[in-house]
Structure 1
Amino acid sequence: MTVVTTERLVIRDWTDTPADLERIFDIYSRPEVMRWLGGGKGRLTDPAEAAERLSSWRERYAPYAGRYGIWAVEVRDDGPVVGSVLVKPLPGGDGVTFTEDIEVGWHLHPDSWGHGYATEAARAVLDRAFAAGDSRVYAVVAPGNEASMAVCRRLGMTHVGRRTDWYGGTEVETFALDAPPRA
Protein backbone atom coordinates (compact mmCIF):
# COMPACT_ATOMS: atom_id res chain seq x y z
CA MET A 1 0.00 0.00 0.00
CA THR A 2 1.28 3.45 -0.90
CA VAL A 3 1.61 5.76 2.09
CA VAL A 4 2.64 8.96 0.28
CA THR A 5 4.35 10.00 -2.95
CA THR A 6 6.74 12.80 -3.81
CA GLU A 7 8.10 14.11 -7.07
CA ARG A 8 10.72 11.33 -7.19
CA LEU A 9 9.66 8.77 -4.60
CA VAL A 10 6.93 6.36 -3.58
CA ILE A 11 6.77 5.62 0.14
CA ARG A 12 4.97 2.35 0.64
CA ASP A 13 4.58 -0.62 2.91
CA TRP A 14 7.40 -3.13 2.81
CA THR A 15 6.15 -6.42 1.34
CA ASP A 16 7.23 -10.00 1.76
CA THR A 17 8.17 -10.31 -1.91
CA PRO A 18 11.64 -11.73 -2.57
CA ALA A 19 12.85 -8.38 -3.92
CA ASP A 20 11.80 -6.47 -0.78
CA LEU A 21 13.17 -9.12 1.58
CA GLU A 22 16.47 -9.15 -0.30
CA ARG A 23 16.68 -5.35 -0.03
CA ILE A 24 15.84 -5.39 3.71
CA PHE A 25 18.65 -7.88 4.22
CA ASP A 26 21.02 -5.89 2.02
CA ILE A 27 20.38 -2.68 3.97
CA TYR A 28 20.22 -4.01 7.53
CA SER A 29 23.19 -6.38 7.19
CA ARG A 30 25.63 -3.63 6.24
CA PRO A 31 28.05 -2.45 8.93
CA GLU A 32 28.15 1.05 7.38
CA VAL A 33 24.39 1.37 7.94
CA MET A 34 24.06 -0.47 11.23
CA ARG A 35 26.90 1.37 12.95
CA TRP A 36 24.49 4.30 13.26
CA LEU A 37 21.56 2.18 14.47
CA GLY A 38 22.20 1.11 18.03
CA GLY A 39 25.90 0.66 17.43
CA GLY A 40 25.28 -2.30 15.14
CA LYS A 41 23.03 -4.26 17.49
CA GLY A 42 20.33 -6.00 15.47
CA ARG A 43 22.48 -6.32 12.35
CA LEU A 44 21.08 -9.03 10.09
CA THR A 45 23.49 -11.90 9.40
CA ASP A 46 21.25 -14.38 7.55
CA PRO A 47 18.87 -13.55 4.66
CA ALA A 48 16.06 -15.43 6.47
CA GLU A 49 16.18 -12.77 9.17
CA ALA A 50 14.73 -10.20 6.77
CA ALA A 51 11.31 -11.84 6.95
CA GLU A 52 11.54 -11.88 10.75
CA ARG A 53 12.47 -8.18 10.79
CA LEU A 54 9.54 -7.31 8.53
CA SER A 55 7.17 -9.35 10.69
CA SER A 56 8.37 -7.58 13.84
CA TRP A 57 7.82 -4.18 12.22
CA ARG A 58 4.30 -5.15 11.19
CA GLU A 59 3.44 -6.46 14.64
CA ARG A 60 4.94 -3.47 16.47
CA TYR A 61 3.06 -0.86 14.43
CA ALA A 62 -0.20 -2.71 13.72
CA PRO A 63 -2.01 -0.98 16.62
CA TYR A 64 -1.43 2.38 14.92
CA ALA A 65 -3.44 1.43 11.78
CA GLY A 66 -0.93 2.93 9.35
CA ARG A 67 -0.36 6.20 11.18
CA TYR A 68 3.09 5.07 12.33
CA GLY A 69 5.49 2.56 10.87
CA ILE A 70 8.62 1.82 8.88
CA TRP A 71 8.08 2.07 5.14
CA ALA A 72 10.00 1.33 1.96
CA VAL A 73 11.27 4.29 -0.06
CA GLU A 74 11.22 3.53 -3.76
CA VAL A 75 12.28 5.64 -6.72
CA ARG A 76 9.21 6.32 -8.89
CA ASP A 77 8.72 4.65 -12.26
CA ASP A 78 10.11 1.22 -11.38
CA GLY A 79 13.19 2.47 -9.62
CA PRO A 80 14.90 0.61 -6.80
CA VAL A 81 13.99 0.61 -3.14
CA VAL A 82 16.57 3.00 -1.71
CA GLY A 83 15.83 2.38 1.95
CA SER A 84 13.38 2.95 4.76
CA VAL A 85 11.71 5.97 6.28
CA LEU A 86 9.87 5.89 9.58
CA VAL A 87 7.55 7.82 11.82
CA LYS A 88 6.95 6.14 15.15
CA PRO A 89 6.68 6.62 18.88
CA LEU A 90 10.10 6.71 20.54
CA PRO A 91 10.91 3.88 22.95
CA GLY A 92 11.58 5.13 26.45
CA GLY A 93 14.39 4.63 28.89
CA ASP A 94 13.62 0.93 29.17
CA GLY A 95 14.06 0.58 25.41
CA VAL A 96 10.70 -1.17 25.06
CA THR A 97 7.78 0.94 26.26
CA PHE A 98 6.77 3.61 23.78
CA THR A 99 6.66 7.24 24.88
CA GLU A 100 4.35 9.92 23.50
CA ASP A 101 7.31 11.47 21.68
CA ILE A 102 7.30 10.85 17.92
CA GLU A 103 10.40 10.14 15.84
CA VAL A 104 11.17 10.53 12.16
CA GLY A 105 14.08 8.56 10.74
CA TRP A 106 15.64 7.11 7.62
CA HIS A 107 17.87 4.16 6.82
CA LEU A 108 19.19 4.19 3.27
CA HIS A 109 21.32 1.74 1.35
CA PRO A 110 24.81 3.17 0.73
CA ASP A 111 24.23 3.05 -3.04
CA SER A 112 21.47 5.62 -2.47
CA TRP A 113 23.35 8.05 -0.23
CA GLY A 114 23.91 11.57 -1.51
CA HIS A 115 20.86 11.89 -3.77
CA GLY A 116 18.56 13.79 -1.39
CA TYR A 117 16.25 10.79 -0.95
CA ALA A 118 16.39 10.86 2.87
CA THR A 119 15.42 14.53 3.00
CA GLU A 120 12.64 14.13 0.43
CA ALA A 121 11.16 11.03 2.07
CA ALA A 122 11.42 12.46 5.58
CA ARG A 123 9.78 15.73 4.53
CA ALA A 124 6.85 13.78 3.04
CA VAL A 125 6.24 11.67 6.15
CA LEU A 126 6.69 14.72 8.41
CA ASP A 127 3.98 16.55 6.46
CA ARG A 128 1.79 13.47 6.82
CA ALA A 129 2.45 13.25 10.59
CA PHE A 130 1.62 16.92 11.11
CA ALA A 131 -1.56 16.59 9.03
CA ALA A 132 -2.56 13.64 11.25
CA GLY A 133 -2.21 15.81 14.37
CA ASP A 134 1.33 15.31 15.67
CA SER A 135 2.55 18.63 17.05
CA ARG A 136 6.28 17.91 17.44
CA VAL A 137 8.49 15.30 15.85
CA TYR A 138 12.03 14.40 16.88
CA ALA A 139 14.95 12.93 14.99
CA VAL A 140 17.51 11.08 17.06
CA VAL A 141 20.95 10.66 15.56
CA ALA A 142 23.97 8.74 16.75
CA PRO A 143 26.75 11.13 17.74
CA GLY A 144 29.13 11.47 14.81
CA ASN A 145 26.56 10.74 12.10
CA GLU A 146 27.17 14.01 10.27
CA ALA A 147 25.17 12.96 7.19
CA SER A 148 21.98 12.41 9.19
CA MET A 149 22.51 15.60 11.15
CA ALA A 150 22.75 17.43 7.82
CA VAL A 151 19.42 15.89 6.77
CA CYS A 152 17.88 17.17 10.01
CA ARG A 153 19.13 20.67 9.29
CA ARG A 154 17.83 20.53 5.68
CA LEU A 155 14.43 19.57 7.11
CA GLY A 156 14.49 22.73 9.25
CA MET A 157 14.85 20.77 12.49
CA THR A 158 16.42 22.44 15.51
CA HIS A 159 19.24 20.76 17.39
CA VAL A 160 18.13 20.52 21.03
CA GLY A 161 21.18 18.76 22.43
CA ARG A 162 22.00 15.25 23.53
CA ARG A 163 19.48 13.12 25.38
CA THR A 164 19.54 9.74 27.09
CA ASP A 165 15.86 9.21 27.94
CA TRP A 166 15.01 7.16 24.83
CA TYR A 167 16.31 3.87 23.46
CA GLY A 168 17.24 2.45 26.83
CA GLY A 169 19.49 5.34 27.81
CA THR A 170 21.59 5.48 24.65
CA GLU A 171 23.01 8.97 24.14
CA VAL A 172 21.67 10.55 20.96
CA GLU A 173 21.87 13.91 19.24
CA THR A 174 18.30 15.22 19.26
CA PHE A 175 16.60 17.43 16.71
CA ALA A 176 13.01 18.70 16.87
CA LEU A 177 10.50 20.14 14.45
CA ASP A 178 7.17 21.62 15.44
CA ALA A 179 4.10 21.44 13.27
CA PRO A 180 3.50 24.56 11.23
CA PRO A 181 0.73 26.83 12.51
CA ARG A 182 -2.69 25.84 11.22
CA ALA A 183 -4.31 28.32 8.89
Structure 2
Amino acid sequence: MSDPILFTERLAVRQWTAADRDRAFSVYSCWEVAQWLGSTPRALEEPIEALHLIERFRLRSADPRFGVWALERRDGGAVAGSVMLLPLPDGGGEVEIGWHLHPDSWGLGFATEAARAVLAKGFADGVDEIRALVRPGNHPSAAVCRRIGMVLTGRTGRWYGADMEEFLASRTR
Protein backbone atom coordinates (compact mmCIF):
# COMPACT_ATOMS: atom_id res chain seq x y z
CA MET A 1 0.00 0.00 0.00
CA SER A 2 1.23 3.51 -0.73
CA ASP A 3 1.01 6.23 1.92
CA PRO A 4 -2.55 7.52 2.28
CA ILE A 5 -3.38 11.01 1.05
CA LEU A 6 -6.15 11.14 3.66
CA PHE A 7 -8.31 8.95 5.84
CA THR A 8 -12.04 8.79 6.33
CA GLU A 9 -13.81 6.73 8.95
CA ARG A 10 -13.75 3.58 6.78
CA LEU A 11 -11.35 4.37 3.92
CA ALA A 12 -7.72 5.20 3.24
CA VAL A 13 -7.45 7.37 0.13
CA ARG A 14 -4.13 6.54 -1.56
CA GLN A 15 -2.32 6.21 -4.86
CA TRP A 16 -3.11 3.21 -6.99
CA THR A 17 -0.11 0.86 -7.31
CA ALA A 18 0.85 -1.94 -9.68
CA ALA A 19 -0.10 -4.37 -6.89
CA ASP A 20 -3.70 -3.17 -7.37
CA ARG A 21 -3.80 -4.35 -10.99
CA ASP A 22 -6.32 -7.14 -10.51
CA ARG A 23 -8.72 -5.00 -8.51
CA ALA A 24 -8.38 -2.06 -10.95
CA PHE A 25 -9.17 -4.49 -13.76
CA SER A 26 -12.16 -5.80 -11.83
CA VAL A 27 -13.50 -2.25 -11.33
CA TYR A 28 -12.88 -0.88 -14.81
CA SER A 29 -13.77 -4.02 -16.78
CA CYS A 30 -17.33 -3.87 -15.39
CA TRP A 31 -19.67 -2.34 -17.94
CA GLU A 32 -21.86 -1.23 -15.01
CA VAL A 33 -18.99 1.13 -14.06
CA ALA A 34 -17.49 1.91 -17.48
CA GLN A 35 -20.78 2.94 -19.12
CA TRP A 36 -20.67 6.26 -17.23
CA LEU A 37 -17.03 7.15 -17.98
CA GLY A 38 -15.36 9.24 -20.67
CA SER A 39 -16.49 10.52 -24.04
CA THR A 40 -16.72 6.99 -25.44
CA PRO A 41 -17.39 4.57 -22.60
CA ARG A 42 -15.38 1.37 -22.83
CA ALA A 43 -14.74 -1.39 -20.32
CA LEU A 44 -11.21 -2.74 -19.99
CA GLU A 45 -10.75 -6.05 -21.80
CA GLU A 46 -7.30 -7.26 -20.69
CA PRO A 47 -5.57 -7.08 -17.28
CA ILE A 48 -2.53 -5.34 -18.82
CA GLU A 49 -4.82 -2.37 -19.56
CA ALA A 50 -5.27 -1.94 -15.81
CA LEU A 51 -1.53 -1.38 -15.39
CA HIS A 52 -1.61 1.31 -18.09
CA LEU A 53 -4.63 2.88 -16.38
CA ILE A 54 -2.85 2.91 -13.01
CA GLU A 55 0.15 4.61 -14.62
CA ARG A 56 -2.13 7.30 -16.11
CA PHE A 57 -3.69 7.77 -12.68
CA ARG A 58 -0.26 8.20 -11.11
CA LEU A 59 0.81 10.72 -13.77
CA ARG A 60 -2.33 12.76 -13.07
CA SER A 61 -1.30 12.89 -9.41
CA ALA A 62 1.97 14.79 -9.94
CA ASP A 63 0.41 17.89 -8.35
CA PRO A 64 -0.46 16.80 -4.78
CA ARG A 65 -3.73 18.75 -4.89
CA PHE A 66 -5.05 16.49 -7.65
CA GLY A 67 -5.26 12.84 -8.56
CA VAL A 68 -7.19 9.66 -9.13
CA TRP A 69 -6.84 7.73 -5.91
CA ALA A 70 -7.68 4.23 -4.71
CA LEU A 71 -10.23 3.81 -1.93
CA GLU A 72 -8.75 1.18 0.31
CA ARG A 73 -11.15 -0.20 2.88
CA ARG A 74 -9.69 0.13 6.35
CA ASP A 75 -11.44 -3.09 7.45
CA GLY A 76 -9.17 -5.08 5.14
CA GLY A 77 -11.75 -5.51 2.38
CA ALA A 78 -10.96 -5.08 -1.29
CA VAL A 79 -10.25 -1.66 -2.73
CA ALA A 80 -13.71 -0.15 -3.22
CA GLY A 81 -12.78 1.85 -6.32
CA SER A 82 -11.51 5.35 -7.10
CA VAL A 83 -12.13 8.93 -6.15
CA MET A 84 -10.70 11.78 -8.18
CA LEU A 85 -10.10 15.50 -8.05
CA LEU A 86 -8.70 16.78 -11.34
CA PRO A 87 -8.49 19.89 -13.49
CA LEU A 88 -10.97 19.58 -16.35
CA PRO A 89 -9.33 18.94 -19.72
CA ASP A 90 -9.85 22.28 -21.51
CA GLY A 91 -7.29 24.15 -19.42
CA GLY A 92 -9.85 26.68 -18.17
CA GLY A 93 -8.94 26.05 -14.54
CA GLU A 94 -12.16 24.30 -13.54
CA VAL A 95 -11.79 21.29 -11.26
CA GLU A 96 -13.81 18.08 -11.31
CA ILE A 97 -14.59 15.56 -8.59
CA GLY A 98 -15.69 12.02 -9.37
CA TRP A 99 -15.86 8.47 -8.10
CA HIS A 100 -15.84 5.02 -9.71
CA LEU A 101 -16.73 2.17 -7.40
CA HIS A 102 -16.89 -1.56 -8.00
CA PRO A 103 -20.48 -2.88 -7.86
CA ASP A 104 -19.61 -4.92 -4.76
CA SER A 105 -19.01 -1.58 -3.00
CA TRP A 106 -22.20 0.17 -4.12
CA GLY A 107 -24.84 1.10 -1.58
CA LEU A 108 -22.44 1.15 1.38
CA GLY A 109 -21.86 4.92 1.51
CA PHE A 110 -18.24 4.71 0.37
CA ALA A 111 -18.72 7.10 -2.58
CA THR A 112 -20.33 9.74 -0.38
CA GLU A 113 -17.72 9.32 2.37
CA ALA A 114 -14.79 9.58 -0.05
CA ALA A 115 -16.31 12.41 -2.10
CA ARG A 116 -17.05 14.47 1.01
CA ALA A 117 -13.43 14.09 2.18
CA VAL A 118 -11.93 14.89 -1.23
CA LEU A 119 -14.23 17.90 -1.65
CA ALA A 120 -12.99 19.22 1.71
CA LYS A 121 -9.38 18.52 0.66
CA GLY A 122 -9.88 20.49 -2.56
CA PHE A 123 -11.28 23.48 -0.69
CA ALA A 124 -8.49 23.28 1.92
CA ASP A 125 -5.96 23.25 -0.94
CA GLY A 126 -7.39 26.52 -2.28
CA VAL A 127 -9.82 25.38 -4.98
CA ASP A 128 -12.82 27.76 -4.94
CA GLU A 129 -15.27 25.74 -7.07
CA ILE A 130 -15.51 22.03 -7.76
CA ARG A 131 -17.73 20.45 -10.39
CA ALA A 132 -19.09 16.97 -10.87
CA LEU A 133 -20.13 15.92 -14.36
CA VAL A 134 -22.71 13.16 -14.34
CA ARG A 135 -24.16 11.40 -17.36
CA PRO A 136 -27.95 11.74 -17.53
CA GLY A 137 -29.47 8.60 -16.04
CA ASN A 138 -26.67 8.02 -13.53
CA HIS A 139 -29.01 8.59 -10.61
CA PRO A 140 -26.70 7.09 -7.94
CA SER A 141 -23.91 9.55 -8.78
CA ALA A 142 -26.34 12.47 -8.90
CA ALA A 143 -27.53 11.43 -5.44
CA VAL A 144 -23.94 11.44 -4.13
CA CYS A 145 -23.54 14.97 -5.51
CA ARG A 146 -26.61 16.11 -3.62
CA ARG A 147 -25.56 14.35 -0.40
CA ILE A 148 -22.22 16.19 -0.39
CA GLY A 149 -23.92 19.54 -0.90
CA MET A 150 -23.43 20.05 -4.63
CA VAL A 151 -26.10 21.92 -6.59
CA LEU A 152 -27.29 20.99 -10.09
CA THR A 153 -26.53 23.93 -12.39
CA GLY A 154 -27.89 22.36 -15.59
CA ARG A 155 -26.64 20.42 -18.59
CA THR A 156 -23.42 21.05 -20.44
CA GLY A 157 -21.61 19.58 -23.41
CA ARG A 158 -18.45 21.54 -22.70
CA TRP A 159 -16.35 18.59 -21.54
CA TYR A 160 -15.81 15.00 -22.70
CA GLY A 161 -17.82 15.40 -25.90
CA ALA A 162 -21.01 14.31 -24.15
CA ASP A 163 -24.06 15.97 -22.66
CA MET A 164 -23.60 15.91 -18.86
CA GLU A 165 -25.44 17.16 -15.82
CA GLU A 166 -23.17 19.67 -14.07
CA PHE A 167 -23.15 19.90 -10.29
CA LEU A 168 -21.26 22.63 -8.45
CA ALA A 169 -19.88 23.13 -4.96
CA SER A 170 -18.26 26.40 -3.92
CA ARG A 171 -15.93 27.00 -1.01
CA THR A 172 -18.05 30.03 -0.09
CA ARG A 173 -21.36 28.07 0.09
Query: Shorter-normalised TM-score: what interval?
Result: over 0.9
Residue 88 (structure 1) aligns with: 86
Residues in 2 aligned to 1:33 and 1:125: alpha-carbon distance in whole angstroms? 20
Of 118, 121, 124, the residue aligned with 1:131 is 124
Unaligned 5+ segments in structure 1 are 93-97
Residues in 2 aligned to 1:129 and 1:57: alpha-carbon distance in whole angstroms? 17
The TM-score with structure 2 as length reference comes to 0.94
> Structure 1 segments of 4 or more deviating over 3 A?
none
Counterpart of 2:16 in structure 1: which amino acid? Answer: W
Q: Secondary structure at the match of 2:93?
A: strand
Do the aligned partners of 1:34 and 1:40 also contact (CA within 8 Å) in 2?
no
Q: Secondary structure at the match of 1:48?
A: helix
Counterpart of 1:45 in structure 2: which amino acid? Answer: E
Residues in 2 aligned to 1:69 and 1:42: alpha-carbon distance in whole angstroms? 21
Residue 171 (structure 1) aligns with: 163
Segment drifting more, 33-42 vs 44-53: 33-42
Residue 13 (structure 1) aligns with: 15
Counterpart of 1:12 in structure 2: which amino acid? Answer: R
The TM-score with structure 1 as length reference comes to 0.89
Q: Secondary structure at the match of 1:84?
A: strand
1:156 is aligned to 2:158: no
Unaligned 5+ segments in structure 2 are none
Residue 54 (structure 2) aligns with: 54
How far did residue 85 of structure 1 move? 0.2
How far did residue 54 of structure 1 move? 0.9
Q: Secondary structure at the match of 2:94?
A: strand
How far did residue 39 of structure 1 move? 6.4
Of 97, 113, 126, the residue aligned with 2:106 is 113
Counterpart of 1:172 in structure 2: which amino acid? Answer: M
Identity across the alignment (%): 49
Counterpart of 1:31 in structure 2: which amino acid? Answer: W
Residues in 1 aligned to 2:113 and 2:29: alpha-carbon distance in whole angstroms? 24
Residues in 2 aligned to 1:2 and 1:121: alpha-carbon distance in whole angstroms? 13
Do the aligned partners of 1:139 and 1:152 also contact (CA within 8 Å) in 2?
yes
Tell me the number of residue pairs that the alignment of Structure 1 and Structure 2 aligns. Answer: 171
* RMSD of aligned Cα (Å): 1.4
Residues in 2 aligned to 1:10 and 1:61: alpha-carbon distance in whole angstroms? 16
